[in-house]
Structure 1
């Protein structure tokens, strides 16, 4: 089914600046309005097979209770038998809409306290009302009545009865101190409210989009038979604003009072001017995200609880995903950032930027519209890990060089033939080196039997060797460092324990400037990305991190990796690319 989007955005901004003595006062307002109009069969943050529907085949239906861990062969056997463990389809009833509004005010004073010290301080106020649809409010699931509340219909208020804060103030403070003409100290602190829009996850909420998911009663059972197809999804009637929800459909909800998280950020930097036009800078940067937003699965099941153990199944017979949009925890980022720059002079400029950093948070919660990997409340701490996007080292070297030949240059400036050929050339280089991102080693969740929770592998070696192999028959990491889990518990390997391949890349640009007339010039450029055509390998894919696929000999040696621990793909766009262009200037 095609996607159609018609998104109108309107923004009104007013700023006032007032200079008084050593003070530079600035204040203003920002009003933002966004209208989304989508024909797009998808669902945010939930499992979905799309408008076509689909079947998922895992190992459980062909496993034996208490037997060996399942693998790809079990899953293929389930496929041949036509026994899926999950069946689903998404139905878009009609184009859906959202209307989102944001209001903010700010005031800031920049004060030159002394000839060396400058202070900047102020605050920002923000208000994020609950979004609506074009003709009524949005929807939320009522966990007390097992009904969907339709905003603006019947007795249900347009804002769904959800309270949002009107006291979201975000103070900021910065200071600059000039020790001398060649050395400056800078520091700053600020708070930023999480700007995440509730329109994103709620835009596809039931009944605007009907997402059917049918699962088996436990991890060993099948959900349906392939021969039976996918059952139809009935239309939903808005009624009096309180409607029933079919058991297997996915829904989203909010608490009666929505708590929007915020981010604390601070930094301290020293900048020093060196000889030969060099400028060096070193800084510490830290952030703490408090009450980071995400999706909490309310319909989780305990270990060995199966479908019957789902929290809402016990109360209402509900088996579908039920996502609460709420704070899920905190995250932090700390970094040393260093920079050495030579400002453009005599046709040469270069900069070296290096960052040593670490980001920790909750596995699976890379942004505000994702869910935790373990959803049992007393085991939330098992999600804590290095962030999915963390890169320890990040080095970039950039350079711009105008070749010293041709008119008004150091050599061959006589306007002769060689001068015309060799003049006007510019060469640009970008060298990039950065660490890979983390990934987790998983295992079959059949013995865990806990829907809405991901199983981890057992770690059996204290240190996991990165072998570095690439290709189908070559392990990237030591495959014998992990074992499947065959009883009812979580594995011992932490999430994001390993890190994928890093990247080394060289980008090159060659420009040639032609002066056609006094006020007319043309620039011909060639830009080459990844000059050496060096592959940028992906992390091992989802199927390649499941230790249950590993086949061992009786003596414990590897018989067949069977896809486990291998890298078989490169990142999109990592091949060498060459681009040509022409630019006219007058």
Structure 2
């Protein structure tokens, strides 16, 4: 059955993202050389690899029905069950299936030297060069968007039984043919000019220098010796380095398929549950679903049946690799033979990080102008792929209509002639001239919907103070270690699944979803003292040990979002870019005493129509973590070669309720601000292990 989900309510079905069975093989050849001369230790190395991903992406074969609310026939309740019962779906997504065989090559070279300048000073320096070729599909069944490109790999020709043949009077839908209005101008396929098999150019300038310094203070007398403990009792370490990310992950590659002409990829808005290809305004959307598509090169394809074409995981012509700059300064001091203290600063700057950006989002200003000219409700949420007609003279004098495409981007009333828009996105209908209607799809279905591009345009920064204390009581068999981190991490996308502000990605900059401001971890290990006396008593009571981990951490930031498309962009991938307005002070509660509410939902309000909202992408912070895990173990020797270990492991020992982050989507109605999930309760497990 298809997947059906109500925002803030239930979901049913079993095919939300579809299965992606895959076989991944890595072939590697590596060689290293070490040369020592004098006080230098030099190392050189080469690493050559080929990675292969053989996968079948079944996608959403059965379809996905999503209810967000906010559509033209929305009932108006925060509870979306009435919309579900009436079949008023806000978004329907369906794909086909396809098999791909991606491969990429990599060459890594490095050279480094460890120079012992003096007995207590060591300098490490090196350089690494990385070459990762773009992953290419051996079947060449991938595609990407290049504005203005007219693909020549599969000529566009309407099927003889396509109703549009009678409208155009021809089957020729090439860029110069009578039916060019439905040609996907911009859809590039390997073999087209500027579209290599790997979709983007290889980057050859990934040089990564590294530098490190270790110094042990040598002072033997005076106050400096007292401060450092004398030779060998303290050390100072500093490091700096650049680190590149490897090849693009298989999950991202899987999003390249199946898409036209190798599979259906459609996201239809404002339709019915029983007839997903019939919109609520009566427009019929083509349905090309037909299993795995494998057209031969040069064979004609009827691209009109794929409209509106939704492209996920698109890769630009220039995709430079991600990299980070990491640096640290650490001071270590041995206070006693069994007591060590370490204090350090650790920082990381992330550059060119992978994120998702819709380069074909709906124009909210056009939608607002249409409402002003034709009346409220003419254009609304999830309406970026609809057809709009402005009669001649309908624009009042002095009123301006902003056009998303065409030779003229604004029209100030009174207008003459009439204006026709098929979609409100920059590339909705590439040949459409709104002022004349020439080149506009006659059935009101645009050529392109959202075009989600994976860009290396993200950035992040992380700063932290890290303190470590290690204490041993050897005579008592006790070891205790405590590690504390005070840190802050900021980015504009914590993963490629985060949709950034499509107009200005910098406005998405906020606390990272994984930011943990304070974190204290205490571990201990205690070997219980042996019992002397009777042998049988020692066999029971001896060789026991207990260890544990206690974690205290402040909560993670809460993702604040909205799914009702009040921003009028109709840009839905993993999430929509909309966010509510922050209208009050953000206050948190104890969910146990406030009907499971963790924060006050009244601090937020739906954003003004046509805006993304002023709330930050994330807000600090969710429920904290207080967790205790304990392990009890006993060694049972059998003879010199055999022994048995018994273990009893107790997770969340005190069975504390530890809530996960509350719901941060304002579209979820009464669940907004509530915690609905918790971490695991107490779990106990026992095990026996035989050593031989």
Out of 425, 436, 459, the residue aligned to residue 310 of structure 1 is 425
Displacement after TM superposition at 1:458 (Å): 2.0
Residue pairs, 1:268-417, within 5 angstroms: 268-275=329-336, 277-304=338-365, 305=367, 306-307=383-384, 308-315=423-430, 317-343=446-472, 345-346=474-475, 347-362=477-492, 365-367=493-495, 369-376=496-503, 379-405=504-530, 412-414=531-533, 416-417=535-536
The equivalent residue for 1:150 is 189
- Evaluate the alpha carbon distance shift between residue 71 and residue 192 of structure 1 in structure 2; reply closer, same or farther with a 3 A threshold: farther
Displacement after TM superposition at 1:84 (Å): 1.0
- 2:295 paired with 1:237: yes
Out of 241, 264, 268, the residue aligned to residue 190 of structure 1 is 241
Deviations along 1:182-213, one digit per CA (max 9) or x if unpaired, are 11000000001122416542344244663533
Out of 541, 565, 568, the residue aligned to residue 663 of structure 2 is 541
- 2:676 paired with 1:581: no
Preserved contact between residue 141 and residue 251 of structure 1 (Cα < 8 Å): no
Displacement after TM superposition at 1:444 (Å): 5.9
Distance 2:147 2:76 in 1: 35
Preserved contact between residue 443 and residue 485 of structure 1 (Cα < 8 Å): no
- Evaluate the alpha carbon distance shift between residue 444 and residue 112 of structure 1 in structure 2; reply closer, same or farther with a 3 A threshold: closer
Out of 571, 577, 582, the residue aligned to residue 459 of structure 1 is 582
Preserved contact between residue 477 and residue 565 of structure 1 (Cα < 8 Å): yes
Displacement after TM superposition at 1:18 (Å): 1.0
- Evaluate the alpha carbon distance shift between residue 2 and residue 196 of structure 1 in structure 2; reply closer, same or farther with a 3 A threshold: closer
Displacement after TM superposition at 1:492 (Å): 2.3
Residue pairs, 1:217-256, within 5 angstroms: 222=270, 224-229=271-276, 231-233=287-289, 235=293, 237-240=295-298, 244=303, 246-256=307-317
Query: Tell me, what secondary structure is at the counterpart of 2:678?
Result: coil
Deviations along 1:339-387, one digit per CA (max 9) or x if unpaired, are 001247332212101111100001xx223x33424212xx323201001
Query: Tell me, what secondary structure is at the counterpart of 1:6?
Result: strand
- Evaluate the alpha carbon distance shift between residue 129 and residue 233 of structure 1 in structure 2; reply closer, same or farther with a 3 A threshold: same
The structure number with the bigger radius of gyration is 2
Preserved contact between residue 43 and residue 112 of structure 2 (Cα < 8 Å): yes
Distance 2:353 2:32 in 1: 31
Preserved contact between residue 566 and residue 607 of structure 2 (Cα < 8 Å): yes
* 4+ aligned runs moved over 4 Å, structure 1: 135-138, 153-158, 206-209, 241-245
Displacement after TM superposition at 1:150 (Å): 3.2
The equivalent residue for 1:264 is 325
The equivalent residue for 2:630 is 508
Displacement after TM superposition at 1:477 (Å): 1.2
Distance 1:301 1:548 in 2: 23
Out of 78, 82, 86, the residue aligned to residue 83 of structure 2 is 78
Displacement after TM superposition at 1:471 (Å): 8.2
Out of 41, 44, 49, the residue aligned to residue 32 of structure 1 is 49
RMSD: 2.7
Out of 169, 181, 199, the residue aligned to residue 207 of structure 2 is 169
The equivalent residue for 2:253 is 202
Q: How many residues align?
A: 538
- Evaluate the alpha carbon distance shift between residue 540 and residue 228 of structure 1 in structure 2; reply closer, same or farther with a 3 A threshold: same
Displacement after TM superposition at 1:495 (Å): 1.7
Displacement after TM superposition at 1:388 (Å): 1.1
The equivalent residue for 1:14 is 31
The equivalent residue for 1:59 is 69
Preserved contact between residue 290 and residue 330 of structure 1 (Cα < 8 Å): yes
TM-score by length of 1: 0.85
Distance 2:66 2:457 in 1: 28
Displacement after TM superposition at 1:459 (Å): 1.8
Deviates more, 1:387-396 or 1:301-310: 301-310
The equivalent residue for 2:5 is none
Distance 2:652 2:40 in 1: 49
Distance 1:31 1:360 in 2: 35
Query: Tell me, what secondary structure is at the counterpart of 1:528?
Result: strand
Structure 2 gaps, min length 5: 1-17, 150-184, 218-230, 278-286, 368-382, 385-422, 432-445
The equivalent residue for 1:427 is 546
Preserved contact between residue 239 and residue 328 of structure 2 (Cα < 8 Å): yes
Displacement after TM superposition at 1:518 (Å): 2.6
Query: Tell me, what secondary structure is at the counterpart of 1:84?
Result: strand
- Evaluate the alpha carbon distance shift between residue 446 and residue 321 of structure 1 in structure 2; reply closer, same or farther with a 3 A threshold: closer
Preserved contact between residue 100 and residue 139 of structure 2 (Cα < 8 Å): no
- Evaluate the alpha carbon distance shift between residue 99 and residue 472 of structure 1 in structure 2; reply closer, same or farther with a 3 A threshold: farther
The equivalent residue for 2:284 is none
Distance 1:162 1:454 in 2: 26
Preserved contact between residue 131 and residue 198 of structure 1 (Cα < 8 Å): no
- Evaluate the alpha carbon distance shift between residue 249 and residue 207 of structure 1 in structure 2; reply closer, same or farther with a 3 A threshold: same
Distance 1:280 1:191 in 2: 28
Displacement after TM superposition at 1:251 (Å): 4.0
Distance 2:264 2:235 in 1: 57
Query: Tell me, what secondary structure is at the counterpart of 1:418?
Result: helix
Deviates more, 1:239-248 or 1:103-112: 239-248
Preserved contact between residue 272 and residue 280 of structure 1 (Cα < 8 Å): yes
Structure 1 gaps, min length 5: 43-49, 217-221, 406-411, 550-561
Displacement after TM superposition at 1:31 (Å): 1.6
Displacement after TM superposition at 1:506 (Å): 0.7
The equivalent residue for 1:490 is 612
Distance 2:245 2:20 in 1: 28
Distance 1:225 1:161 in 2: 37
TM-score by length of 2: 0.73
Residue pairs, 1:99-110, within 5 angstroms: 99-110=103-114
The equivalent residue for 1:570 is 678
